[in-house]
Amino acid sequence: MGSDLSFPDYIGARKCKEIVGEERFDQEKFNAIKGRSGKITKQQMLDLVLADTLEFNPAGSRNEDIRTQWENTTKAWRKVPKLTMPIVEKFRNSASLLDQAPAENLNSCVFEENEVAGNFVLVCVPKTLVGVDRRRPVQIFFHGGGFVMGRPQHFRRTCAKLAVLSKSVIVCPTVGNAPEDKADTWLRNAYAAFKWVNNEADQLNVDVSRIVVRGENHGAFIALKVAAQAIKKNEHEFIKFIWLDVPALLHDFLPKWRDPDKEIDEMHQISSKLNLQTFSLLFTDIEKQEEFNWDEHKNDADIFPAFMEEELLKKIPPILLTTGEFDHVGRRACEQFAERLKGIEGKLLGCYIQPGVGHNLYGADQSLRDKAEKIFYTIFM
């Protein structure tokens, strides 16, 4: 296991109640699975914790402590009628704000800088794994940035947090930014990083049978593309599981793309047009974005990798989906993709929807998100 959520081999009702919380403890469910000793096993406890974590109880409204940030963000979006390069550059000038993780984990990690296929790659190792003899678990982390901004250098704190939470080596590669770098370039760069981790396993001292491919926001798009490419090259067995966080990977914004004001959902009324504009820049020039006809591409797996053909999906490594109740980018995509994955045994690890929070907007509930992540790493890694 990657993280350190440990239980004794056998657990009684009192301890179980302490772990899951008295208000969520189900005595009837516990009685149904307990053994003759009146206790349940560690694995049964992990199963209960996972089921409890994945259970979605909607808050119905945004948490109060993220409301102002959401309102300020939407006001800014409303002022962008369409993307131009000056606006893209303004976004890029604020790329340092993408890294919302605390700085406290930086001192617990060692950073290494590498180059793969001419691109910068950041490697982050928790100090607890420095110098160990055994092969270390590894994650390839594809960061987000709305398709147009962000580099590994902007995500040092996030990499450190993931490394400490999961007790694994984090490899964060440069993939590209639209509109300069198109989708084929992204895939070429991303797959080169995946191959580099495999080829340099001895140097990195990592266990290539335990590679986690994790993507956040637009990074989830490329993470799923890498997995599909690995299947085509018969190299997908190296991937233990895929983690798609607040992901941009389906036609979540398409239903009313010509007239987003007709969307029922406020989040999509405000953000659909801008999100699709940034997405289109992977496939067309910025001057031609308004000519891009989404109706012609709404089921295109090259653009929306969650529409990959059934034969590929049957071979896909297990997938974990994580989002928020008010995630304007990923919630509907997660729910739609989860429904498709449920049809193939063993492909959906879980779809976690955190109540009351938005797209990387957690406020005081960040601690609940961190707890869920620790549980997922413990069980799946």
pTM of the model: 0.93
Choice between 111 and 91, residue whose per-residue pLDDT is larger: 111
**Residue 22 above 80 pLDDT?**
yes
Half-sphere exposure (CA, 13 Å, Cβ side) for 300?
11
Strand ordering across the sheet containing 348-358 = 109-116, 119-126, 169-173, 136-142, 206-216, 239-245, 319-326, 348-358
Inter-helix orientation angle 266-280/64-78, to 10°: 50
Q: For residue 320, which amino acid is it?
A: L
Kindly indicate the confidence band of residue 45, based on its pLDDT and cuts at 50, 70 and 90: confident
Tens of pLDDT, residue by residue over 135-188, are 999 999 999 999 999 999 999 999 999 999 999 999 999 999 999 999 999 999
Q: CA 248 to CA 279: how far, in whole Å?
A: 9
- State whether residue 142 is helix, strand or coil: strand
Q: What is the pLDDT of residue 257?
A: 67
CB atoms under 10 Å from CB of 4, counted, come to 12
**Residue 302 above 80 pLDDT?**
yes
Mean of per-residue pLDDT scores for the chain: 91
Tens of pLDDT, residue by residue over 182-234, are 999 999 999 999 999 999 999 999 999 889 999 999 999 999 999 999 999 99
Q: CA 330 to CA 176: how far, in whole Å?
A: 21
Q: What is the pLDDT of residue 3?
A: 45
Tens of pLDDT, residue by residue over 257-297, are 677 777 777 767 777 777 888 889 999 999 998 888 888 88
Tens of pLDDT, residue by residue over 60-84, are 999 999 999 888 888 887 788 788 9
Q: What is the pLDDT of residue 2?
A: 42
